[in-house]
Structure 1
Amino acid sequence: MTEHQQRRDPAPEGDARPPERDRSRPMPRPGVWVADHPGALVGWWHEAHGTTEEVAARIAGRLILDTVDFDGFTVRPDERPETVAAVANGIRQHGLAFAAWAEFHDADPAMLTSFAEHYLGHYDDPASMHGAIQRVREADRQTANETELLFLDAPKGGTYLFAGPEHENP
């Protein structure tokens, strides 16, 4: 492990939790390590959250060569500050499930803003996920809709469950 990777330990992901933020657990604090060129031995760690302007000022046209607490989301060296800020802010607010959602949807701004309405929780195994799936299916029966479910692997184990778009049953 290199020196710049030891900035801080990632926050624990935890067991099954409700879609609302669990305030008893520390939230991840996404950061970026920037340098002037690939292979640089000297660079700077910066917090990745904040406004687009704040993040752009921190990155200052440099390359993003390492990250912390973006687990599940791949930050490119030339990632746009607005994308870095949006994903980092979402991770700070919602946890690492937001990183998986952002990666799956290529950080599409419309999908990032819809995270909370789709996220159903983090589950360690299929048995613990069963109740959430049953609630979605019961709601579908009552409304004559069919909701797609999205299962994304959590980087530290388990599965994130999301409700996709609803479709009317013919």
Structure 2
Amino acid sequence: MTARPPQTPTLRRKEVSMSEHLPPPQPGPEGVNSYGTDDPEEQAQIEAARTAAAEERRANRAKLERYVSYGLNEEDAQGLIEHEQMLKDRRDAVAAGQLEQGEADKRIRPRIYVRSLVDHTEGHDIGDWIDASRDLEDIQRDVQSILSRSLHAHWTGEPAEEWAIHDQDGFGSLTLHEYESLDVVCALGKGIAEHGLPFAAWAEINDATDIYTLNRFEAAYFGAYDSREAYAEHVFEEMEGEKELEALPDWVRDVVRVDYERMTHEMETSGEVRFVDHPGGVWAFNGRV
């Protein structure tokens, strides 16, 4: 009888499901839903944000289809929409005072937002911010650059020639006209960049479109003071008024008081001095210049 060789036992692999390795799912907190919160007020805010985002997507899609129908390819049309949104976000940030200013440059940088008028009337935001503190030729070049990007000109072959100022930044309380001359914008921008907001105040109390008047700022500006009375005290000191008081007899000096409020009233009513109020005090200007 022939002996059989020993047989190697067959190893069977145990089929193990992933569920045997992973812990069972944990139930979420009660009341939490797709909003991630059970607070009704927060849910309302989230729902409003979702609705706004959906509306923006629909509007952008409609705009994309319109641009494509005008002859742009889809990629260029999408790029134009993103560019318009970037400009809008930047304008909103400027209006809200959220733009950060570099530590290396704390000067005021007056700017204007210029749009192509023909495109604006057709519903397209073809425009950009322009630094108004540079030379006139540079500002004019930037305006022409904006007009050269006109969609109307691209579609019709007719050049875009008209533009308008639709926003401004860094001009203080001075309001520019929509069709302000660029040489006036340049004079204002350079003056504010060099002298700060007192220059804008000087322009505002005079004819801001008169470049000759704007150029007289340095001769007219007396300085910044905490109040009108503080300026009167400064004038009194400059005139060495204290010495005059000391020359008086003691019994007279004891009853003499300098009425600084009356001094400033007389200065203003006579036209000798003009004051402009601002949050930190007043700016004083020579009223005869």
Partner of 1:149: 273
Q: Indicate if the aligned counterparts of 1:70 and 1:99 stay in contact, CA closer than 8 A.
A: yes
Partner of 2:193: 92
Quote the Cα distance in structure 2 between the aligned partners of 1:41 and 1:71: 29
- 1:7/1:130 Cα in 2 relative to 1: closer, same or farther (>3 Å)? same
Quote the Cα distance in structure 2 between the aligned partners of 1:105 and 1:75: 14
Quote the Cα distance in structure 2 between the aligned partners of 1:135 and 1:161: 16
- Work out whether 1:6 is the aligned partner of 2:108: no
Q: 1:72 Cα deviation (Å)?
A: 2.5
Deviates more, 1:45-54 or 1:79-88: 45-54
Query: Which structure: greater strand fraction?
Result: 1
Q: 1:31 aligns with which of 111, 115, 124?
A: 111
Question: What amino acid does structure 2 have at the position aligned with 1:35?
Answer: R
Question: What amino acid does structure 2 have at the position aligned with 1:134?
Answer: F
Q: 1:153 Cα deviation (Å)?
A: 2.4
Question: Alignment partner of 2:283: what SS?
Answer: strand
Q: Indicate if the aligned counterparts of 2:228 and 2:275 stay in contact, CA closer than 8 A.
A: no
Quote the Cα distance in structure 2 between the aligned partners of 1:41 and 1:132: 55
Partner of 1:163: 286
Quote the Cα distance in structure 1 between the aligned partners of 2:175 and 2:228: 26
Q: 1:157 Cα deviation (Å)?
A: 4.4
Q: Indicate if the aligned counterparts of 1:55 and 1:84 stay in contact, CA closer than 8 A.
A: no
Partner of 2:260: none
Q: 1:65 Cα deviation (Å)?
A: 0.6
Partner of 1:131: 233
- 1:59/1:105 Cα in 2 relative to 1: closer, same or farther (>3 Å)? farther
Please give the per-residue CA displacement for 1:110-147, whole angstroms capped at 9, x wherever unaligned: 211110111111223234323334367x39xxxxxx97
Question: What amino acid does structure 2 have at the position aligned with 1:103?
Answer: E
- Work out whether 1:44 is the aligned partner of 2:146: no
TM-score (norm 1): 0.71
Quote the Cα distance in structure 1 between the aligned partners of 2:237 and 2:188: 29
Quote the Cα distance in structure 2 between the aligned partners of 1:36 and 1:132: 50
Question: What count of residue pairs does the alignment treat as equivalent?
Answer: 145
- 1:148/1:63 Cα in 2 relative to 1: closer, same or farther (>3 Å)? same
Quote the Cα distance in structure 1 between the aligned partners of 2:285 and 2:164: 33
Higher RCO (CA < 8 A, seq sep 6+): 1
Partner of 2:217: 115
Q: 1:102 Cα deviation (Å)?
A: 1.1
Consecutive unaligned residues in structure 1, runs of 5 or more = 11-24, 140-145
Please give the per-residue CA displacement for 1:4-30, whole angstroms capped at 9, x wherever unaligned: 1424949xxxxxxxxxxxxxx922100
Q: CA RMSD in A?
A: 3.1
Q: Indicate if the aligned counterparts of 2:113 and 2:166 stay in contact, CA closer than 8 A.
A: yes
Partner of 1:57: 141
Question: Alignment partner of 1:58: what SS?
Answer: helix
Question: What amino acid does structure 2 have at the position aligned with 1:6?
Answer: A
Q: Indicate if the aligned counterparts of 1:33 and 1:66 stay in contact, CA closer than 8 A.
A: yes
- Asked which structure has the greater CA Rg, the reply is 2
Quote the Cα distance in structure 2 between the aligned partners of 1:149 and 1:92: 24
- 1:75/1:147 Cα in 2 relative to 1: closer, same or farther (>3 Å)? closer
Find runs of 4+ consecutive structure 1 residues off by over 6 angstroms: none
Question: Alignment partner of 2:287: what SS?
Answer: strand
- Work out whether 1:69 is the aligned partner of 2:69: no
Quote the Cα distance in structure 1 between the aligned partners of 2:143 and 2:202: 24
